[in-house]
Structure 1
Amino acid sequence: MEIHVPHVNSEENEDPGAAPYGNFINYYSFNPPENRLGLIPEALLENIGFGSERVLMLDVGCNSGDLSVALYKHLLQEKASGSDSPKRELHLLGFDLDQDLILRAQNSNPFPLNIQFIPLDITDDQESRTVLESYLGKFGCPRFHLCTCFAVTMWVHLNHGDAAFLSLLSRLASLCEYLLLEAQPWKCYRSAARRLRKLGRSDFEHFKDLEIRGDMAAHAREHLEKQCSMELVQSFGNTAWDRSLLLFRRR
């Protein structure tokens, strides 16, 4: 599926709810990284078995990179486990379909040797597969150790339909050993559609035809467990926006 990269225009600068792909220009001003980091343990990588080895992370839909960088620093907090403990080598690749947001992420990246930001559309299966496999190949790894996907599923679902929603989940599962997923609840779908109508725009193309509705986190879990050979390891609770953070593991 080939999708043209939308450009953030002046109207979207004025109203953050006007970004139909979730590419809000000032997203972290109204949903700061702390809203998620407060729920994610600093020792997450140790807890899932990646102690001092090299770890590859993928952040899908990274926006301007604020959360990616904050999570990178959060997970590298030094633990009081002995001064002779080897320091972990963490590499993070973040991508988003909005080239303007990626440029902002690149320009403000404080760790360019270990964090990389690129423009990429996860719904473009062929290109994303080629780019991500090339990145993994540089490290000799078949997949990422940890993939994070925060508040992305709804935008793929609204813009591309039920099949694309399930395909996204399958794609994420194929890319990683562990998946940290935040799926927007159904009330967010209604709010997003209402914002577009308020702005006098056409509704999301697939909104009225979606058959996958209701408890979106439960739908995501069901697909990942039944179709993608993953299992739920832990729920880290709900964010301030009442969205659950779910950690899945490849079986």
Structure 2
Amino acid sequence: MSSPAETYLRDFHRRLPGVTSREFGGAPVWRNGEGHPSSYSLLESEVPRGEAPLVVLDLACGDGHLLELLARRHQRGLSLLGIDLSEHELAAARTRLKDAATLTHGRAQSLPYPEASVDLVLSHLAFMLMDDVETVLSELRRVLKPTGRVSMVIGGGPLRNEAFDQYLRLLRPVLATTPNAPLPLGDPRVRTSEGLAELFRDFTELHIQNLEVQGDGPPELVWDSLTRTYDADRLSESARDALEADFLRAVEPLRLADGTLPFRWSMRQVTATRP
């Protein structure tokens, strides 16, 4: 039986399939001061090149953007798996990937794969939304081969910027007065380095790296991106309209000479090894 959070996420991705890859598939990202094409490309680069047999699972694969990056390699011996909670995302993934990956509808808490059958698990902006993450990690340990690895991009982290601070300042009182708006998504421990270290205690070689994802653009375009976040999505149309007007006024002084608004998304990349 689905939890309220899973029911909401299914509905969100029914209405907006492919939203994550559209927002972040081409957004440059910085890690340790070094630039990369996108947060997806960081995960793609975790997969070794070569001809040795290799099974890669994309956990919560969405519309298949990450799997497509891997399929484009035409790498001999590389087997691609994808699983997602949303049938609508999977429909988009099947259209995108054809027969390049084996796609399954299912939950991360009950993976339909044999023990020790996967070399590498990747996941993009999904783990921080999942129920019962302890069970998810137990399932990853079960399906990973000995010394198999997991690498995830997750939302949140210490990065702050003026435009996002203004958004949060305006959003919090609106959420506080919106019935049923603050639907909890995920485990709070995923939002901190200390919590992640606790959750991954049964893995080794844990690395947590902060990411800075570029979201610069005209204020209206930045606002459009913010409306596709889960918090803004749960607001009424009138509340969103009022928040938009307040946000555009608040960030007007932050615009650069070319009219763009500097904006950064905060993410983390978590990589660990199954003992």
State if a TM-score over 0.5 links the two structures. yes
In structure 2, the partner of 1:149 is 123
- In 2, are the aligned partners of 1:56 and 1:144 still within 8 Å (CA)? yes
The number of aligned residues is: 198
In structure 1, the partner of 2:156 is 185
User: Distance between the aligned counterparts of 1:52 and 1:172, measured in 2?
Assistant: 24
In structure 2, the partner of 1:223 is 199
1:88 aligns with 2:76: yes
- In 2, are the aligned partners of 1:196 and 1:202 still within 8 Å (CA)? no
In structure 2, the partner of 1:102 is 90
- In 1, are the aligned partners of 2:212 and 2:267 still within 8 Å (CA)? yes
**RMSD of aligned residue pairs (Cα, Å):** 3.8
In structure 2, the partner of 1:30 is 23
Superposition map of 1:23-62 within 5 A: 25-32=18-25, 34-40=37-43, 42=45, 44-46=47-49, 51-62=50-61
Superposition map of 1:127-166 within 5 A: 128=111, 131-133=112-114, 142-156=116-130, 160=131, 164-166=132-134
User: Distance between the aligned counterparts of 2:173 and 2:69, measured in 1?
Assistant: 29
User: Distance between the aligned counterparts of 2:12 and 2:45, measured in 1?
Assistant: 37
Q: TM-score, normalised by structure 2?
A: 0.58
In structure 1, the partner of 2:103 is 117
Q: Kindly provide the CA deviation profile for residues 128-163 of structure 1, in whole angstroms up to 9, marking residues without a partner as x.
A: 3xx222xx7xxxxx220000122112211xxx4xxx
In structure 1, the partner of 2:272 is 248
Long gaps (5+) in structure 2: 27-36, 160-166, 214-264
1:175 aligns with 2:199: no
User: Distance between the aligned counterparts of 1:91 and 1:68, measured in 2?
Assistant: 10
Aligned AA for 2:24?
N
Q: Give the SS at the match of 2:94.
A: helix
Q: TM-score, normalised by structure 1?
A: 0.63
User: Distance between the aligned counterparts of 1:173 and 1:68, measured in 2?
Assistant: 21
Could you say if the C-alpha distance between residues 214 and 97 of structure 1 is closer, same or farther in structure 2, counting changes exceeding 3 Å? closer
- In 1, are the aligned partners of 2:57 and 2:120 still within 8 Å (CA)? yes
User: Distance between the aligned counterparts of 1:243 and 1:146, measured in 2?
Assistant: 21
- In 2, are the aligned partners of 1:37 and 1:71 still within 8 Å (CA)? no
Could you say if the C-alpha distance between residues 26 and 205 of structure 1 is closer, same or farther in structure 2, counting changes exceeding 3 Å? closer
- In 2, are the aligned partners of 1:173 and 1:230 still within 8 Å (CA)? no
- In 1, are the aligned partners of 2:84 and 2:107 still within 8 Å (CA)? yes
- In 2, are the aligned partners of 1:154 and 1:183 still within 8 Å (CA)? yes
User: How much does 1:212 deviate?
Assistant: 3.3
Aligned equivalent of 1:238, options 203, 211, 226? 211
- In 2, are the aligned partners of 1:56 and 1:146 still within 8 Å (CA)? yes
User: How much does 1:101 deviate?
Assistant: 1.2
Could you say if the C-alpha distance between residues 89 and 231 of structure 1 is closer, same or farther in structure 2, counting changes exceeding 3 Å? same
Aligned equivalent of 1:202, options 162, 180, 192? 180
Larger radius of gyration: 2
Q: Kindly provide the CA deviation profile for residues 57-107 of structure 1, in whole angstroms up to 9, marking residues without a partner as x.
A: 10011111112212443xx38xxxxxxxxx631111111111111111112
